[in-house]
Structure 1
Amino acid sequence: MMLNGRIQSLPKELKLLIGIFLVVLSIGFYTGLLFVNETSSISTNGIEENYLGNENDEDAEVMKFKKSPKEMLSIVHSHILSMSLIFFLLGVILSITNLPNKIKLFLMIEPFFSVLFTFGGLYFLWKEILWMKYLVIFSGTFMTLTFTASTLIILYQLIRKQN
């Protein structure tokens, strides 16, 4: 079945549904990034402090304690499940866009690796494998870039006039 470029032939109602879904999804995604910024300042030291605590830092403005095993399992579990669904739905929609197959495949598959590396990295950071904070920053940035690129491509192709 030929899916490439099918997005432009969708009925207006379905295009509107997809467009609104992507806008609301993006608000949720970027609000999550604001939360990450508030809790960790999106820095390697901030991420480490957020999960391992800062009880030894007497000059800390806000006292943070190491996350409990239940907290970590809840964070990893909920984020891997929800982000997998988000990127699956985004990938399904992306599959009907008009893009070169290699780019499309990369944008559809890469976020799943980033989700595993980001949230798996947080778990191993919590287990005090400290270099994982760099993997978390790198993969989280990559995940955000692929989300943004995919969303913009889909929105652009939804509003573009059919040839």
Structure 2
Amino acid sequence: MEYNGLLCTLSKEIRLFIATFVIILSIGYFTGLLFIKHTEATSPNGIEENYLGNEEDEEATVMKFKKGDREMLTTVHTHILSMSLIFFLLGGLVWISKAPKKWKLLLTIEPFLSVILTFGGIYLMWIGISWFKYVVIFSGALMTLSFTGAACLVLWQCAKPPKVG
């Protein structure tokens, strides 16, 4: 079965349905990034402070406390499950688009590695391995680049006129 470029052969209505899904998924993803920015967790020290608290910082404008066991396990659990489902669905759409196999492999496998490194890294930082804050920043940036690349590829393929053939 030939699946490379299958997306371009689908009817206009199905491509519109897929494009709408990817747009709504992207709104949800980037809203999550806005939340991260709002909590000031976009720098290594901000990430550490967000999960480990800042009770000892007398100059802190907003007091933050170390997250509890339940809160951390819930955060890691829900994010790994939901992000893996997001990247599975988006990855399926990437695989039926027309692009080089190596690019598809990168756009569909890398996000899963980044999910584990990002949320596993947050947990490891929380239990005391503080240098993982740098892994979290790097893997989170790669995850976002992969999501953006995959979403743009799928939307671009949905916008192309269907192949006649």
Summarize deviations over 1:38-78 as a string: whole Å, max 9, x none: 11340000000000000000110000000000000000000
Identity of aligned residues (%): 56
Summarize deviations over 1:49-108 as a string: whole Å, max 9, x none: 000000000110000000000000000000000000000000101111100111111111
- Root-mean-square deviation (CA), in Å? 0.8
- Amino acid in structure 2 at the alignment position of 1:29: Y
CA contact (8 A) 2:7 2:158 kept: yes
Name structure 1 gaps, 5 residues minimum.
none
Tell me, what secondary structure is at the counterpart of 1:14? Answer: helix
Higher RCO (Cα < 8 Å, 6 or more apart): 2
TM-score normalised to structure 1 length: 0.98
CA distance in 2, matches of 1:4, 1:120: 33
Aligned to 2:111: 111
In the alignment of these two chains, the number of paired residues is 163
CA distance in 2, matches of 1:32, 1:41: 12
Correspondence 1:123 to 2:118: no
TM alignment of 1:1-163, pairs within 5 A: 1-163=1-163
- Amino acid in structure 1 at the alignment position of 2:106: F
- Amino acid in structure 2 at the alignment position of 1:153: L
- Amino acid in structure 1 at the alignment position of 2:76: V
TM-score normalised to structure 2 length: 0.97
- Amino acid in structure 2 at the alignment position of 1:14: I
Summarize deviations over 1:26-46 as a string: whole Å, max 9, x none: 000000000011113400000
Tell me, what secondary structure is at the counterpart of 1:40? Answer: coil
